[in-house]
Each structure stands twice: as C-alpha cells, then as structure tokens.
Amino acid sequence: MTRIFGHNVPNELLLLGLVELTIGFFVAFASLDAMAMKAAAPGSIMGFGAAAGLSISALLISFAIGLFRPQTFLELRRVVIKTVVAALISAPVICVACYVLRFDVEQRVGGHLPDHGQVWPFDMLAAWIGLLLAIRLVFSYSLRMNMFARRVVVLGDDLSCLRTVRAVEYQSHGLLEITAQLAPFQGSAHEAETLVQQLRRRRIWGVVMGPSGDAQAQARLTQAAGTKLCVWDERQFWESQLRRIDIDLLTEADMTAWHSEPRTAFGRKVAAVIGRAGDIALSLFLLILTLPLMLLTALAIKLDNPGPVFYRQERVGLGGVPFVLTKFRSMRVDAESAGPVWASKKDSRVTRVGAFMRATRIDELPQLICVLSGQMSFIGPRPERPHFVEKLANVIPFYHERSRVRPGLTGWAQVNYPYGASIEDARMKLSYDLYYARHRSLFLDVLILFSTIRVILFQEGAR
C-alpha cells in the first residue's frame, strides 16, 4: 500500500495507472510524430504536450468511470463494457488533438497536409483500446486468481472478528484474503517472536487483533512484528484498509478523542473558506450549464403527471438544524399519503418521467440552489428526513454524528454503497459517513467527485 494524502492506495492499481499512462503517451506521441514526419516537418513541443494531455485525459476518464475499482476486474463483462465507454468518451478529445496537431503541422510546412500524411483519430483510438484491454484482461485474471491478495490472519474468536472476516470477503475484491481466524494471542515475548516467524514463512502480510485478547500479550506481539508484519487492532484495520468505521466497536471515548484532535484554528478556517468558495463556483457553473435541461425537465413533469414541478421536503442539516430541500418531483402527488416510507426498487409511486430522472439523477439538480445558499455542500453525508433520523438514531449508535458535517449532494457512502432502504443499509452508510467525517480532505473530495461520475453514468444504486 502507498499512502497518498493520508489515504492508502494499492500499489497494484498505482502500477496499472502508471503503465496505462505511459502506453497512452507513447501511442499518442508516436501517432502524432508520424504525421509530422510524413509531412517532412520536425516534431514540435505542441506534439509532445498534446500526447501528454491525451494520455492524462484518458487516465482520468478511466478513473472517473470506475476502471480502477478492484471490483470491476472481477467481472470480465464490466472490464470490456467500461473500456469501450472510456474509449467513446475519449474519442472527442483525440479528435480535437489530431485537428490541433494537423493545423500546427500545416502552419509549419506552409501548405495543406495531404490525406496520406494525416493521423486518423480512429487509428489512434483502436491502438489505445487494444493495448488497454489486453493489459486489463491480464490484470483481471491475476486479481481473480488472488495473485495480488495480501494474506491476513485474524487473532480473536469474538463476534466482531467474524464481522471483520465477512467485511473483508464483501469488500476486499481480491486485494485482501483472510487466511485464518486464530485464538487471541496470550504468549510471552519469545512466543511472539516464534509466531511472527511462522506467519512470515506462510507469507502473511498482516495481523488483525480482536478486542478480547490480553492487552500486554498483544503489545508483545506488536513489538515482535516490528516492520516484518502489519499489525492492527480491528478499528485500525477497518479504517485503514476498508476505509470505513466499525460502528459496533466505537465508544464515547473514541468520539471525544476524535473531536479533540489538534487542528489549528487557522487551518480549519482556510479549509472552510476554500470549500465554500468551491461550492459557490461549482454550483453557479452547473446551474448555468444545466438550466436548459432543467427547463425541459420541468416541462416533461407537467406533461407527464398533474401536480407541481418541484418537491420540497424537510431534511436535517449541519448541527441537526432542519432545512427545506428542493428536488424535481419524481412521484405522484399522493405518494406519501400514508406517511413517510423509504423508496424501493420499481416503486409504483414513481412516475414515468420520475423513473428516468432518478436513473440519471436529474431530479437532484435543484439541490444546487441549496449548495449555493450554504445549506448543503457538494460533498458530505446525504441529508436525511427528521422522521428517519429519529427512527435510526434510536437503533444505530452515533447516528447523530453525521450531522457534524455539512450534508452533500454526493458523499463517500453514496459512491461505495448502493441506495439504502433499511436499517442495516443505514448502518453501512453511517460507517462510510463517519470515515468521511474523520478523514475528509481535498484529495478525498476529488476522489468522491470522480466516483460520482461513475455512479451517474452506470446508474448505480438508482431507485
């Protein structure tokens, strides 16, 4: 694992990104340079810059649509489909680059470039797709064969240890493998050294220690492991490797410690100012950009189903203060005549236009006004209705903690877990929301924004 801006990133995915960036650059540069050579014009710095821009653009597009998610590689159909989608999105960028380079060459040779001297975008795109798909198929096979899996042993027979095993099975996607669940370590320093050597011979990468073991014995094991093994307690493991918070192991002391972590007042103010400025700029830009789409949506709602265009609903905001959230109406007017209920798959209350809006997230666009007014942010836990907040807070510990962060249009829970319509789903999402509240940063916000493109494009979790 490589730590980037406080977040662990698998080395295999970093290497894959570097390989694809390099291949993309050389494919683009070789193609563009060939055009210059055919026209008897020496290569230019513009060609080098265009090739670098193309390769970086292709990499960002691949990342945005989820081609670097480990779970994508576990299903060949996903690999092929998302590679083709990445190619289609990249095609306009490649066309523009080829046109700009052709114009540059023609300016330098002082004449029109003949057809045989041109680089056709399709040729460059085909070469890039072929190499990209070949690399990804090899990586996919390796991941499914557990060639990259980091072997982990759990020391503990508690119920929480079993939950950790299941969490890894659900979420690791070929990058982590629980090889054994053993009894808690209770031995001496010499026995700790012996255990470490045994685990090393079995090519174990890390050890997760359950909460029920002898604290002093576990400290001896940690000291014996040194740099030979990664050692975590369960909470550390969930946080650093699964990027979630294990709610069942949280205590009031943990929350007090988190809230009292040293952060300079100046640093907090700078982060708040930058975040707010970004929210204002991006919400204004998107409101202007999507205004024609919103007008067409309003017309479609009116023609499809009688009733108002907008749906206003009270939600819980920062610090538990309620505010009114505005969305395009996607349900019948009498949808909640019997009281608030969670949305379900193929919900009969949803109108025809509403189903399309929900699949494409168009119904969320009016919330940009809430972002502009400061009631919401772009990134943060999704705001919940007071009815459900009270209901969930009675059965899920620390549920009110999510209101310490300004609610957002999208969040860490939304890009990692599908739509929630049960108490267990709410628990899962809270584990991600608390992780974001504890580790939020500019890097994590950018990661969430890119991942949101994938969620919208492939309609993940839409209801």
Q: List, for residues 174-188, the tens digit of each pLDDT value.
A: 788 888 888 888 888
Q: What confidence score (pLDDT) does residue 383 get? A: 93
At 233-278, the pLDDT tens digits run 888 899 888 899 989 888 888 888 887 776 655 566 777 788 889 9
Residue 23 identity: I
pLDDT higher than 70, residue 78 = yes
At 128-169, the pLDDT tens digits run 788 888 888 888 888 888 888 889 999 887 777 888 888 888
Looking at the chain, how many residues does it have?
463
**Residue 407 structure tokens:** 């609610």
At 307-363, the pLDDT tens digits run 899 999 999 999 999 999 999 998 887 766 666 666 666 667 888 898 899 888 899
What is the C-alpha radius of gyration for the chain, rounded to an integer number of angstroms?
A: 26
Give the count of beta carbons closer than 10 Å to the beta carbon of residue 347: 17
Give the count of beta carbons closer than 10 Å to the beta carbon of residue 213: 19
- Label residue 433 by pLDDT band (50, 70, 90): very high
Mean pLDDT, residues 277-298 taken together: 93
pLDDT higher than 80, residue 111 = no
Of the given ranges (155-164, 219-228, 423-432, 444-453), which has the lowest mean pLDDT? 155-164
* H or E stretch covering 327: strand 322-328
pLDDT higher than 70, residue 280 = yes
pLDDT higher than 60, residue 85 = yes
Range list of β-strands (E), 67-203: 150-155, 176-182
Q: What confidence score (pLDDT) does residue 116 get? A: 45
Q: What confidence score (pLDDT) does residue 117 get? A: 44
At 393-428, the pLDDT tens digits run 999 999 999 998 999 999 999 888 877 668 888 999
Question: CATH 3.40.50.2300 occupies which residues in the chain?
Answer: 150-242
Mean per-residue pLDDT over the chain, rounded: 82
Q: Domain 150-242 - what CATH class?
A: alpha beta
Task: Let me know: does 415 contact 452? Beta carbons within 8 Å.
Answer: yes
Strands lying side by side in the sheet with 206-209: 176-182, 150-155, 206-209, 230-233
At 10-33, the pLDDT tens digits run 778 888 888 888 887 877 777 666
Beta-strand pair 150-155/206-209: parallel
User: CA dist 194 to 125, 189, 204, 283, Å?
Assistant: 55, 9, 14, 59
Eight-state DSSP code of residue 350? B
Of the given ranges (31-35, 53-57, 222-226), which has the lowest mean pLDDT? 31-35
Residues forming beta bridges with residue 326, ordered by sequence position:
312
Beta-strand pair 2-4/7-9: antiparallel
Residues 51, 30: Cα–Cα separation, whole Å: 9
